[in-house]
Amino acid sequence: MTTHTECQDCDGDAAPDLSREPATTLSQPSRRRFLQSAAAAATIGAAPHLRAQTQAPAPASAAPPGNPVVPPRPVTLTVNGRAYTLQLEPRVTLLDALREYAGLMGTKKGCDRGQCGACTVLIDGRRINSCLTLAVMHEGETITTVEGLASNGALSPVQRAFIEHDAFQCGYCTPGQLCSATALLSEFRSGTASTVTADVRARPAVLSDDEIRERMSGNICRCGAYVNIVAAVRAAHDNA
């Protein structure tokens, strides 16, 4: 039988009795509580990353015993007729000294292992891979880069021949090719033999295509302009 109190609860005339609500509704988290918990979890998860970004950098470790740090010192390099006094560490390569310190960007860094020839420069007229030698080793020597091949604003015979015979495509290896070809012609005129010279005891008689290919073999052209490079070197030799 329904009591008077129960009828009041049903028809809404009296306030509902909260004690009679199911216990499960009290255990269900509210939407606000859920969002607060999620935000707190995200903050705790991000805390290590925030600390890693804001904390001061660790001090540089001291040099190991027996291997002291050598500070930069003045190094004077004579490049293309001009003296450059640069503050260099002993381990700086000639290639990096030319590009990063002297600002001569013509010499290119290709493989950085002496395999492609893109960094070829002339040291006292002799070609060398500048990535394989240290800058401090060349004080007092005459260094010529691709920027120094022209004279009084006029291109050298090798530079003109490369243009006339279209001996380049992308041009990245061209500075090294030009320096190597310039040294090649000087070597041939001085009587230096190569591995394809018929008699290495005698002066090479003719600068043949085989001689040019062998003497330029240290310079790689990834565009494959070798035929035109050989033609340009031969033309520069014939017109000299």
Q: What is the mean pLDDT of residues 208-215?
A: 97
Averaged pLDDT, 124-153: 97
Domains and CATH numbers, the chain: 71-148 (3.10.20.30), 151-240 (1.10.150.120)
pLDDT band at 64 (very low <50, low <70, confident <90, very high): low
Poorest-pLDDT segment among 52-61, 192-201, 210-219: 52-61
Confidence class for position 240, pLDDT limits 50, 70, 90: confident
Residue 212 tokens read as 């040019």
87: left (phi over 0), alpha (psi -120 to 50) or beta: beta
Per DSSP, which regions of the chain are E strands? Answer: 73-79, 82-88, 120-123, 126-129, 142-144
| Residue whose entry in the numeric block shows the structure tokens 């006339």 | 164
Helix (H, G, I), strand (E, B) or coil at 144: strand
With 60 as the cut, is the pLDDT of residue 94 above it?
Answer: yes
Across the chain, mean pLDDT equals: 84
Taking residues 179-185, what's their average pLDDT? 98
Confidence of residue 69 (pLDDT cuts 50, 70, 90): confident
Q: What tokens were used for 189?
A: 């005129």
State the DSSP string of 64-109.
Answer: PTT-PPPPPEEEEEEETTEEEEEEE-TT-BHHHIIIIIS--TTS--
pLDDT tens readout for residues 159-171:
999 999 999 999 9
Most confident of 32-36, 202-206, 213-217: 213-217
Check whether 77 has a pLDDT greater than 60: yes
Nearest Cα neighbor of 176 from 221, 239, 227 is 221
Angle of helix 226-238 relative to helix 174-189, nearest 10 degrees, comes to 40
The predicted structure's pLDDT at residue 68 = 74
pLDDT score recorded for residue 3: 47
Q: What is the mean pLDDT of residues 47-64?
A: 50
Q: How far apart are CA 151 and CA 154, in angstroms?
A: 5
Sign of the CA dihedral running 39, 45, 51, 52? negative
